[in-house]
Structures are given as C-alpha cells and as structure tokens.
Structure 1
Amino acid sequence: AVTVGIDFGTLSGRALVVAVEDGRELGSAVHEYTHGVVESALPDGGPVLPPDWALQIPQDWRDVLRFAVPRALEAAGVRAEQVMGVAVDFTACTVLPTTADGTPLSELAAFAGRPHAYPKLWKHHAAQPEADLVVRRAEETGQSWLARYGGKVSSEWQYAKALQLLREEPEIYAAAERWIEAADWIVWQLTGAENRNLCTAGYKGLYQDGGYPDGAFLASLHPDFADFTAKLEHPLSQLGTSAGTVTAAAAELTGLREGTVVAVGNVDAHVTSAAAQALEPGHMLAIMGTSTCHIMNSEVFAEVPGMCGAVHGGVVPGLWGYEAGQSGVGDILAWAVRTALPHEYAAEARRLGISGHELLTRKAAAQPVGGHGLMALDWHSGNRSVLVDHHLSGLLVGLTLDTRPEDVYRALIEATAFGTRTIVETFEQSGVPVGEFTAAGGLLKNAFLMQTYCDVLNRPVNVLASDQGPALGAAIHAAVAAGAYPGIREASAAMGRIKREAYTPDPARAAAYDLLYAEYRTLHDHFGRGGSAVMHRLRALRT
C-alpha cells in the first residue's frame, strides 16, 4: 500500500508517492505554478501592486492536483487502487476569501481585477499596520492569548491580513463568506466538504483554549470586524485524522480513486517534523528554504518572546508545539546572486559549469572566519522571530573598496545562522531547552552553509535524509488518517528518515563565531529593539 503527499510550496507543488511500510519514496512529480508569486501586477492587468504584496492564483494550485498527482503515480508505477490515503501541506499563512461554497472571489467576474480578492501568500507583508494594531489592543485589554505568540502578532497571519482587507476593500470583505487557509481549501477541493485544521488555526488564526478572540476585542480593531470569526468558524480537526474522501470530480482531476481517504490539511514546516523523526520534546527542526521555520515540541508551556506560536497538539497530540522562524534565508542569498554577481564572476561560473551560488560558495568557503570584515543583519524580508517586525530591513556593515562578492555572500550566510542562534538561545533562556537540532529543506545541498550553521550554533546538526520533507511528512499523515498506524509518532518512526550528526562543530571556528555573534547581537538589538528607528523611517519614505 502507498500514500500520496502533496506539498504546495511558494513557486511549485509536488506530489510524492510513498510506501506505507517503510517510507520508501517510489515516485514524484513537480508542477511549477504558471504565475509564480504575483508581486507587481495581476496577470490580466489591473492596478500595480504596492510594496510588500504577494498574491497567488488558485488555478495554479488546482493544476498541481491535475498534473503532478497523476504523473507521480505513473512515475511510481502504482495504480490508484493501491493508494490508501492522500494528504496536503501548504505554505502558511496563505489565505484566501471565498464564497460559502468555496469559490475564490478572484474567480468571480465582479472582483477579477481587484487584488484584495486574490489569495495572499505567506510573504504578503503589507498588513504590518494591522498587525501592530492587533498587538496594541491585545496589550491594552489584557488578552491572554497574546502570550502564546511571544507577545507579538505577525503581519503574515489571518487576522492582520483580514483586517487589511476590511480597511482597504470593505466590499470584498463583506462578500467573503469564508476566509480560509489554502491547505484547508485544497482539502475542500478534494473532498467536497469544508474542513479546518488545528495547526493553521492555532499558529495563524489565534485559536487558543477552544476559541478565537471574542467579538468585543475584534470590534475594538474596527466596528465592522466584530463578526470576522464567522468567516473562520468551522469544527477544527485534529492532525492525522480523516477530513473525508476523494469525490468523483476530484478523482477525475487527479487520477486518484474515488473514496480514497483525505487527511486533514497541515502546514509544510509542521508536517516535516514527522518526516525528520523530530517529534520528541526538545528536538528542534529547522526547515531551510526561501525562509526558515523552526518547529519544536515540548511537554511544557513557556512564554518565549517573539515565537510564532505555541499550540497544544499543534504538531502532535499531547505536546506543546512551538514555532519560530526567519522570513528570509534562501531569498536573501538569491538576492545576493541577482544583484552582486559581476560579469566576470558569471562568466567564470559558466566556464566551470556551475551556478552563481556554487561559485560564490566556493570562494567564500576559502576564507577564514571573520576574514571579510563584514557583519550583516538578515532582515531583507523583515524579522519573523524574535522581533516579529516585517518593517525592519537588511543591513551590511564593514564595506570597503576591497570587499568582494563572495565576502558579501558569506556575511549573509553567517547572518542567517546568527538569526537561528538567536532563536535557539531565546527558547533556552525562556525555559524551553533545545536538546537536538535537525535541518531540512532545499538549503541542505549547500554543505558550506550547513557547516557554518553547525559552527555558529556550536552543536551537532542532524539532517533529514530526504529532499522532499514536506511531501514525505504529508504522506506520513495520510498513512495515519487511513488507519495504517495508530498515531503520528508511530508512523514517523517507521516512515521518517534522519541522518544524525551529519555535521559536527569545529572548536576553533565556533570560538571565532562567538566573537562575531556578539557583534551581530549588538546590531540586532540596536536596530531591532528601539536604538534606532531608521529602518522604519526609510520604509515610510519609500511607501
């Protein structure tokens, strides 16, 4: 028997066919989104999008079901009858307004040319003023749930994005009978029935202790926001359970068998914990790609400043699941290659038959720690943890006329590693120890980057022994929902994959990085904790 995990990323979706017995990956297929991330203007015209917007097109997601799933089944050489379950994970918070029957408002003629009718991708950061307002009102009224999010609310989350919609496009807000995470929307497309998962509700929807923020609080944000929860409210389903079965229409679309079990939706980072066998308390998993998410379970709850959420049962039943993260990692390195690679470097890369990333990595790796004389702040996409401020920006200190592209590249790698160390130390200082550290995601293929993280953290780093972590994690959840295993932990033990201590720290480099990290923290606290608001002022002038 097999299961299928479908992973919806930022630029593409992947379907993976996995053997239920032992997690062997039998076949996969990727479908690139036709429209990618919509950041400048809608595909068919319309107004130019302001800064910090990031939208997507629902048809791109349907096309993953239409193309990637049948191709993965074909690649695996399995028949639809052999598939006992399917599960979906998605970037989060990616959220969209729909009618009561699940039709995206962007697909209605009346709203097709209006950006607010489209799904807002996780990295849509234009709702920072709304996020700030939510925090201020929560502090003023003593909302108990605020502590579960480290005292901050992100502009990436459901309430901030919805409040921005109401303030800027009240007509579309009124027409939105549902405000739903993309993971749940895809499950709706597969099963024909609306379903909401506990994970996104808890981490992205402020759902705590059995409820959402009350109407009086919401009215304090905007008089017409008091009824917002009605757009969210639907019975929440526990992770690893069944959300229904594949409908006839979905079977025709995907090539799956009608009646196949569909698991409750989930977040890409959180399902990867099962793939990496990182479910035990104190085992932190960093899913490293365009951004990085840090996921960890614990038996205890503690208030950790700037975490993205603590949700009981948010990753596995019975434990507190913590999330933190960095808004930009791979995106920052891509920016460096895009903007700081001179023609002669590009020509050298072509001669060697390697990418710009590989060339800069080779040159950077040849340097001693601190040899470039630079220090960077990794906030090109703002700061998700521990400052939770997406109006912060990147910084590079120490430039001279001798600074080379590889110097900048290495400084940016180190800055992202320092950002992760800041998160780890914040958890430990708050009483949530990190006993083990595992990495997953696309950045694992850069061995120099991984060794840098290992040296900066000064602890061994395990790696996920699969390059398809979210899809594998989703397939594991599908196996549980279909009844192959009694729980997520048991399925993870049988189907997950981990390579322990793939990297171990070098004592001399770790000691040198301690000195650089102290400088990073000085800049981090000065620009991020009120020493200077220059980054905010520059952003205000830009916009």
Structure 2
Amino acid sequence: MDHRAVNQAERINACNSPVLQYCGGGVSPEMQAPKLLWVKENLQESWSMVCRWMDLSDWLAYRATGDDTRSLCTTVCKWTYLGHAHMEQWQESDSRDMEACGWDNVFWEEIGLGDLVEGNCAKIGRSVAFPGHPLGSGLTAAAAKELGLLPGTPVGTSLIDAHAGGVGVMESIPDEQFKADLPDEEAICHRMVLVCGTSTCHMAISKNKLFVPGVWGPFWSAMVPEFWLTEGGQSATGALLDYITENHVAAPLLSNRASSQSISIYELLNKMLLSMSHEQNSPFLSALTQDIHVLPDFHGNRSPMADPKSKGVIYGLTLDTSEKHLALMYLATIQGIAYGTRHIVEHCNAHGHKIDTLLACGGLAKNSVYIQEHADIIGCQIVLPRENEPVLLGAAVLGAVAGKKFPGVRDAMKALNAAGKVVNPSSDPRVKKYHDAKYQIFRSLYEQQLSHRSTMVQALQ
C-alpha cells in the first residue's frame, strides 16, 4: 500500500521498456523498481550502504538457509524479471536452479538504477529458482536453533503471501461439481482466486500468455509452475471497510455492543442488515443501498484502470448519523468492492481469460455478506476452501515439495487442497437487474472523476 513512488513509476513507464508489457503495460508504484528509485533519490546514505535488496519472503529463506537464491514469484511479479527468458534456459538445461538470466540490464540502466546490475546482479539476485525448490542444505544450525527445528530441515524457495494463498486454494474444487467437464489443464484456467485481506489480489492462470492492459502480468511460473499468472488487485478492501466503519460517528457505540456479544463489529452489522431488510420489507438485502453508491478507490486503482491517482467516491450522503446509516455505508462499500472485482473479471475475460469460478480466502472470505454480495454481483459460484488458513497451506505446499514428499507443486496442491462451502449467486432475476444497474453507476463514477480531474488541471494552468 506504499504509494510514495508514484512519480518514479510515471518516469519509469515513460521509458517504454519492453519489460513493461509483462506488468500490465506499466509498473505500479507498489512494485520494487519505482520503490528502489525512490530510495536512491531520497535516502542516498542508506542506498550506498546496502549490499542486497530482497523481498521479505526471499529474505526469510536466505535468513533460514544462507542461500541467496531468489524466487521466480517475487522477482517476476515485483522486480520486472522476465520469467519466460528463464523458461528457455530451464527447458534447455532441465534444471530448476539456474543463474538469473531474466534481468534486462538495459532497463535498469535506463531508469537510473544501473548500479543494481553490477557484479552479475549481485544486489538483486544472481540465481532464481521455481517456488518449492530446495534451498542450500536446508536450515542452518543457527536458524534451526532459533526456530526450534532440526538443522537440515528442507526449506523451499518462497512465494509472496497472496500467491501462497493462490497455491493453497486453486485446487479446492469439489470433484463432482467442477472437474468432470474439462481436462484438468484447462479447468484450472477457468478459476480466479480472490485473496481478500487488507487489500485483495485476484489470481488467474493460463497456459498461453495473455496480455491484459492495466492488470499485472503475464508472469511465467510465478505462482503455479509452467502456467502464466495474471494478477489483478484492489489496493484497499479490508482497509477500506475498516476506514468507513471506524470513522462513522456511530462506530464506538456499535463496537461496544459487539464486544458485549463477543462478536466482531462486522458480524453485528451483518445481523443489523438482515433485520433492516425485514423491517423495511426490502425485496432483497442488497436493495437497501439503492441510494448509496461507492467507488472504492480510496487508495488508487490497482487494476484494471492502473490509476494510483484515482480517488474514492461516496454518492448519496445525508446528515444521518445513526447505526443503521453505518450499516448501509458498510453494505454499499462491500458492493463497491465487489463491482471492482467484477470489472477485473470482465476485463480479463475480454482479453482471453475464461473465468467462471471464483475461490476466496483471507479474512474477508469469512464474512458471509461480503462473499454473497460478490457472488451475486459477479454472477459466479464462489468456492471457499476447507482449510481456514490457506496462505499457510500454500507455504506448507512449498515445504512439502522441497522435502520431496511430492514431485511438484501441482501434485502437492491436488493432494492438500480441499473444498469447503460453495456459495451460489442469487437465482432471483431482480437481484441481477439491480446489480447490473448499480454496476453501470459504479463505472460512471470513475469516468466522471476523470472528467473532473481534467477540468481542474485546466483551471490551474
């Protein structure tokens, strides 16, 4: 969520390097190249002292094993490493532990970070491996002592946290419902994983590389080996619900009431919405928000507009400060987030994907209203995994592969993923008609914003 490097991202994108086509057409300020450029320009003393730049997950693996092999996941998804160049070397050598051949040195020099490619890219990774590749000789003696584990315990090359969630749920499909109609290699390409937390990541894979403007990727083998990853996202989802809720005047009273019932404020709000729907004789719960529309870009738009300058919009404010008004604001914000996910799904499908099933994990996936609204708005079944912490399960998959319990990540996923509840969209045609109308308003709010932004730019010239 760190957007300090917006200006650096704009300058990098202006160079039109070929690497940019593999991150949705341009780097995001949330990616490492603009962040590194920001550090170099603003913290020069720190910059000169650093011997390695690493993602957290690569750092943990290095700290545990002493092996500075980086992950295809981190380097491809956030550092502009070209995984398909890596693929060509891998196919020729049949080795999954190789020199890092996917860095574009010209790109780093063009953007003013040529010092990062010195010494065969020593500061950003000389070797890169598939997720789950066993690192070094396993846990070092020092790391084993700190962790209370045995020296030599296998450690696999890492995944970014959300991508571990993708590995932890993507095969969590009930056999009898979803797997019979399509070949396995094709069926998995019809799924999108929503990793729903502070922000939301949208993970879909394909056998062929699909370029989707404004959506990160295609990233080769960055999550599931030998598949291209498309990664959408919303920069603030759980964080936005917290913001909307906590800044409402009725929040302290509701928070106290929730605490007295030993439930979260969101569980209490869900109960209130059900009661309000009955009291107002609403045709369905979603209809409570017919006068409130939310564009959830309070922290920019990660995809598909790829506009970090986008702002949030709430249409339909009144002087109401009641608890019921907070419940309506909460529901309208959930809907705005779901319309954003619908926009991402439709945009991906318009550029070659065939997504028709969603799988959800993370904290927000445990919120029944949040998941039902997403199912109704997107029109897809949503499968929830049996495992309560699928990000941890994804990490366990990597350990199991590193420990040679399974021949590969896909094998481990199939063995360890399991489906839980399946949430279906409403069969009431009125619900679809309602959300189609609100979705059009949602789309118009951004278009109006662009027009207003242009008007103000002209006014200041």
Shorter-chain TM-score range? 0.7 to 0.9
1:54 maps to which residue? none
Asked whether the 8 Å contact 2:196–2:362 carries over to 1, the reply is yes
Q: Pick from 512, 516, 530: which aligns with 2:434?
A: 512
- The AA in structure 2 aligned to 1:262 is V
Aligned to 1:98: none
Q: Which amino acid aligns with 2:444?
A: T
CA contact (8 A) 1:183 1:266 kept: yes
Q: Distance in 2 between matches of 1:354 and 1:505?
A: 27
Matched, 1:241 2:133: yes
Match of 1:277 among 170, 174, 179: 170
Match of 2:174 in 1: none
One-letter amino acid of the structure 1 residue matched with residue 128 of structure 2: L
1:356 counterpart (247, 254, 265): 265
Give the one of 282, 286, 293 matched to 2:194: 286
Deviation string 1:317-341 (CA, Å, 9 cap, x unpaired) is 2211111111111111111221115
1:383 corresponds in structure 2 to 301
Q: Give the C-alpha shift of residue 175 in structure 1.
A: 1.7
Contact 2:215 / 2:304 at 8 angstroms: preserved in 1? yes
> Matches of 1:355 and 1:436 in 2, distance apart?
29
**Shift in Å at residue 282 of structure 1?**
2.2
Q: Which residue of 2 aligns with 1:262?
A: 155
Matching residue of 1:36: none
Distance 1:536 1:204 in 2: 33
Provide the rounded CA distance (Å) in 2 between the counterparts of 1:370 and 1:524: 22
Q: Which one has the bigger strand percentage?
A: 1
- The counterpart of 1:449, out of the listed 370, 377, 380, is 370
Q: CA–CA distance in 2 between the matches of 1:381 and 1:212?
A: 31
**1:185-264 superposed matches below 5 A:** 185-208=59-82, 209-210=85-86, 211=101, 214-222=104-112, 225-229=113-117, 230=121, 231-244=123-136, 245-264=138-157
Give the 3 Å change call, closer, same or farther, for CA 414–462 of structure 1 in structure 2. same
- Cα distance change, pair 362–341 in 1 and its aligned pair in 2 (3 A): farther
CA distance in 2, matches of 1:274, 1:392: 31
Q: Which amino acid aligns with 2:158?
A: G
Superposed CA deviations along residues 124-154 of structure 1, whole A, max 9, x for unmatched, are: 211111111111112xxxx222222221211
Residue 391 of structure 1, CA deviation: 2.8
1:129 and 2:7 are equivalent in the alignment: yes
User: How far did residue 442 of structure 1 move?
Assistant: 0.9
Secondary structure of 1:184's partner? helix
The residue type equivalent to 2:371 in the other structure is M
Whole-Å separation in 2 of the counterparts to 1:420 and 1:384 = 11
Indicate if the aligned counterparts of 2:69 and 2:125 stay in contact, CA closer than 8 A: no
Residues 277 and 498 in structure 1, CA contact (< 8 A), matched pair in contact too: no
Change (3 A) 1:197 1:536: farther
Change (3 A) 1:407 1:129: same
2:286 alignment counterpart: 369
Please point out which of 319, 332, 339 is paired with 1:401: 319
Q: TM-score normalized by structure 2?
A: 0.84
Give the aligned residue type for 1:380.
Answer: F
Q: Structure 1 stretch 406-415 or stretch 354-363: which is displaced more?
A: 354-363
Which amino acid counterpart does residue 171 of structure 1 have in structure 2? E
Does residue 1:166 correspond to 2:166, yes or no?
A: no
Deviations, residues 163-193 of structure 1 (Å, cap 9, x unaligned): 0011112222122221111111111111022
Residue number in structure 2 paired with 1:333 = 241
- Whether the 8 Å CA contact 1:282–1:436 is kept in 2: the answer is yes
Query: Which amino acid in the other structure matches residue 469 of structure 1?
Result: P
CA contact (8 A) 1:392 1:536 kept: no
Matches within 5 A, 1:29-178: 123-138=1-16, 143-178=17-52
Q: Percent identity?
A: 29
Contact 1:377/1:523 (8 A) holds in 2: yes
Equivalent-residue separation in structure 1 for 2:414 and 2:110 (angstroms): 47
**1:273-315 deviations in Å (ceiling 9; x for gaps):** 2221349222110011111111111112121021122111111
Select between 190-199 and 403-412 the one with higher mean Cα deviation: 403-412
- How far apart are 1:212 and its partner, in Å? 5.2
C-alpha separation in 2, matches of 1:175 and 1:495: 43
Could you tell which deviates more after superposition, 384-393 or 154-163? 384-393
Q: What's the offset of the Cα at 1:492?
A: 0.9
Distance 2:103 2:66 in 1: 28
Post-superposition offset of 1:501:
2.6
In 2, Cα distance between the equivalents of 1:410 and 1:258?
50
Any residues of structure 2 matched to 1:471-486 within 5 Å, and which? 471-486=392-407
User: CA 1:350–1:478 in 2, change beyond 3 Å: closer, same or farther?
Assistant: closer
SS in 2 for 1:532: helix
> 1:511-530 counterparts in 2 under 5 A?
511-527=433-449, 530=450
Gap regions ≥5 residues in structure 1: 1-122
- Aligned partners of 2:159 and 2:223 also within 8 Å: no
- Inter-CA distance 228–384: structure 2 relative to 1 (3 Å threshold): same
Normalization by structure 1: what TM-score?
A: 0.71
2:341 aligned to 408, 414, 420, which one? Answer: 420
Is this contact kept in 2: 1:237–1:243, CA < 8 A? no
Counterpart AA for 1:516:
K
Q: Which amino acid aligns with 2:170?
A: Q
Per the alignment, residue 532 of structure 1 pairs with 452
Partners in 1 of 2:419 and 2:71 — Cα distance?
Answer: 27
CA deviations on 1:320-376 (whole Å, 9 max, x unpaired) are: 111111111111111122111514434443454433222222223444434331111
SS of equivalent residue, structure 2 residue 444: helix
Which consecutive residues of structure 2, in runs of 5 or more, have no partner in the other structure? 87-100, 172-184, 278-284
TM-fit CA distance, 1:215 = 4.0
| SS of residue matched to 2:132 | coil
AA aligned opposite 1:249: A
In structure 1, the residue corresponding to 2:452 is in which secondary structure? coil
- In the alignment, the residues of structure 1 paired with residue 128 and residue 204 of structure 2 have an alpha-carbon distance, to the nearest angstrom, of 22
Distance 1:512 1:324 in 2: 25
Distance 1:352 1:478 in 2: 40
Amino acid at match of 2:74: T
Opposite residue 523 of structure 1, the aligned amino acid is: L
CA distance in 2, matches of 1:199, 1:496: 20
Structure 1 residues 369-397: Cα deviation after superposition (integer angstroms, max 9, x where no partner): 34331111111222211122333222101
How far apart, in 2, do the equivalents of 1:458 and 1:320 lie? 25
